[in-house]
Chain A
Amino acid sequence: MVFIGVRAAPMVALTAFSIGVTLAMQAAHSLKELGAEMYIPDLVMVTLLREMGPVLIAVIVIGRSGSAVAAELGTMKVSEEIEALEVMAINPVQYLVVPRFLAMLVMLPALTIFGNYIGVFGGWAVCTFALDFNTAGYVLRALQSADTWDLYSGMIKSGVFAWIVITIACNAGLHVEGGAEGVGQATTASVVQALLAMLVTNAVLTGIFFFAA
């Protein structure tokens, strides 16, 4: 839990900040032509909550924690540790997978919320220092534009991503065969599969949330 969540925080913060800044600058560039700079906070806020936040934080967590879980379980598998657990009548799924599953399910959404804050802060930095916004104006616009559903939809996505990432990682790890080489392959496979599955699911969820209703 500490590994998946707390130690990932600095990386998440940096990424989210960059994204917030980039979003604000891009928005400024495009919206200026329409004379609609006042909508920059709206755009930053909604994009972050609905899409960029959950997806990008999930990308980081896949690269960092998903791969680590796959490699760790894979190493345990090749060094007979999993078999030893089974022979001690300890269910390896209960003992190894369940805690990781719960940690991921709690920490990925938590990191996403944290990332959202930092991203919005990045947007604020651009708006206040480079454009003619004052802090109060930015905060007000941002809060007005987003409703709770934007936040919740992002959180639902994040929860689903957590489930996908940890399932793929644990599955890859527990099915390792053939020594160190197998561990490497499983780790790579888990990252690639998790990324693809996450992005496809994101598209599907966005479709369901914002166009089906």
Chain B
Amino acid sequence: MNSNEAPIIEVVDLVHQFGERTVLNDISFNVHRGETLVIMGGSGCGKSTLLRHMIGSMKPTSGSVKIFGEEIATMKEHEIGRVRQRFGMLFQSGALLASLTVGENVALPLFQHTHKSADEIEAIVKQKLEMVGLTGFEDLKPAEISGGMKKRVGLARALALDPELLFSDEPTSGLDPIMTAVVDQLTLKLARGSHMTAVVVSHDMTSAFRIATRMIMLGHGSIVAQGTPEEIRTSTNPEVHQFINGEADGPIPLNLSQDKHEDHQCVKPRPFALARYRFHHKIS
């Protein structure tokens, strides 16, 4: 890792509170050029909130988030726009515009931010769709394709401007194993070949270990562990061990109390049960 160069992303002491609840607590990390950082953690641990801070759509309660060396947390909306043109973002659901076709969705950032001619844009759109294995789907509407396809179109759109930095929210959930491998290889190819930096939020451990150069595990809004995939794999931290091996028993609280659960299922004595029984069965 080239640590002489300024980091692409620099998060320092990030804290975010929703009212009383602290969702992110003192998060600090750096991401350098060419790295692929995988952020993992259970549902509701603050992964998506952290991602939203990095793309500037949420403001931290305190702390700083720097993207390309620029403080994004205190930026005005039009300044953020300038930074946003340099990165791509893949949303969990794809977030395609339902009124546009697949091709128009991918072309949208090109039309908005470049001065390329319609022919050039068409060629780029074709090429990007080919990268995600969707050649020939240009003229379909998002409603006519499957969830996994939408996600791949979302990826093509995120890559339309050849970004230096790619954020992905669960890029492989809902994809079949083969498509997962294709998307992973694409991320790897871009990271190695074009020195693209990637930040990926993922549950999918197979995919995470395949693409990551570094991993962060979040729990209860704090960083539980971070390191290279090898360090994470051999970690002695019981929470990490439980998570990457997908075990139901372990130190991570699931917020479902076994005892309470049983309470609901137990048969409570019902008043008039006998009377009702007699009534229905006409027993006197």
Contacts and interface: CB of A to CB of B under 8 A. Distances in A.
Given A89-B82, A89-B85, A91-B81, A84 B95 contact: yes
Interface in A54-81: 75-76, 79-81
The secondary structure that dominates the A interface is helix
- Range class of the A interface residue count: 10 to 19
Interface residues of B, number: 20
A132 interface: no
B98 A81 contact: yes
A87 B57 contact: yes
B57 A76 contact: no
B109 A83 contact: no
Contacts of B92: 80
A90 B109 contact: yes
A46 B171 CA distance: 63
A87 B98 contact: no
A79 B55 CA distance: 18
A147 interface: no
A76 B91 CA distance: 14
Interface in B94-121: 95-98, 108-109, 112-113
B97 A89 contact: no
B89 interface: yes
B22 interface: no
A87 B84 contact: yes
10 contacts: A79-B93, A80-B93, A83-B57, A83-B91, A83-B95, A85-B97, A87-B89, A88-B109, A89-B80, A90-B109
Interface of B: 55, 57, 80-82, 84-85, 89, 91-93, 95-98, 108-109, 112-113, 157
Would you list the 7 A-B pairs with minimal beta carbon distance, nearest first? A84-B95, A89-B84, A80-B95, A89-B81, A87-B89, A89-B85, A88-B109
Interface of A: 75-76, 79-81, 83-91, 95
